[in-house]
Structure 1
């Protein structure tokens, strides 16, 4: 049924909302909920080999690839191991949603020009404070995303015939439910 009082969105807003909705983290949000994020997305261009962030940097933003490609890698001793590439319509840096977290990997632009939407953590937290339902939905999608990552780790472990000890990466300390976990 047509509602003459329904909010109208510009074609540019609708295009950006449809772009965001393709990502798991935003897939469950309504147009109205997505609209809360649009004014807080900052578009920035990066050049080839430009560092977006280093491992151990404080996690202060979520990044969304509008165009181009970003390489994620991990420094292992004197060398770098590529974890993968993030391309158009994908996001990274989602661990910013974990309070006090630091980056787990390096992010480096790998195309001549890469356009990234940057969503600062301060803005995300403001949205979460004003709209607790959005916060709940985003964290639910992040749990799904983490579940997928863990499944990928288990699959890689099985495929590698147990070359590394999975218990070293999955459990820290003697008891997973113990409040005092040893390092």
Structure 2
């Protein structure tokens, strides 16, 4: 039997919850918790070669890919080296979940067009301030994401031993 006091959601909201549930940073949240983000979401369209943000910019938003592809690059001298390609159902700009962070990479649209959902940093922080459980769940997911990245980095380092010194990371 259905609880008459439980919140019901529209079909559009239910589709958004299904989409958010695929994204690492939202995977632990219940629908009620995800619903807090919906009013803060902005839908934006981008075209090929448009820069979403540059390395060293302030981390002002989290981006969710609804359609298209985004290439995350790092600047090495005068070149851009691809570190990751992001596709539908994935997020980038994850350090916007942290306070006072700067971008560590440049995000560039590589598909003909892309549709992104933008969640501003200030809105995320407001949700975190009033919902410590949401913050804890998302920070756990962020920690796992960074741990997976570290494992990939160290594996890559072992496979290409001698090209750089890991000690430089801590200097």
Same fold (TM over 0.5): yes
2:122 is paired with a residue whose SS is helix
**Separation in 1, partners of 2:39, 2:100:** 25
1:89 is paired with a residue whose SS is coil
1:51-101 deviation per Cα after TM superposition (whole angstroms, max 9, x unaligned): 111111111000000000011111111111111211100000011122211
- TM-score by length of structure 1 reads 0.90
Corresponding residue number in structure 1 for 2:55: 55
Which consecutive residues of structure 1, in runs of 5 or more, have no partner in the other structure?
Answer: 173-183
Corresponding residue number in structure 2 for 1:151: 151
**Separation in 2, partners of 1:67, 1:27:** 19
1:65 is paired with a residue whose SS is strand
1:130-169 deviation per Cα after TM superposition (whole angstroms, max 9, x unaligned): 1111011111111111110100111101111343211212
Deviation at 1:125, TM superposition (A): 0.8
Which consecutive residues of structure 2, in runs of 5 or more, have no partner in the other structure?
Answer: none
Question: How do 1:17-166 residues align onto structure 2 when only pairs under 5 Å count?
Answer: 17-166=17-166
Q: Runs in 1 of length 4+ with deviation above 4 angstroms?
A: none
Deviation at 1:22, TM superposition (A): 0.9
Instruction: Pick which of 62-71 and 92-101 moved more.
Output: 92-101
| Root mean square deviation, CA, Å | 1.0
- TM-score by length of structure 2 reads 0.96
Greater Rg, structure 1 or structure 2? 1
Corresponding residue number in structure 1 for 2:13: 13
How many corresponding residue pairs?
171
**Separation in 1, partners of 2:110, 2:24:** 23
**Separation in 2, partners of 1:31, 1:135:** 15
Larger RCO, structures 1/2 (Cα 8 Å, 6+ apart): 2
1:95 is paired with a residue whose SS is helix
Deviation at 1:30, TM superposition (A): 0.5
2:64 is paired with a residue whose SS is strand
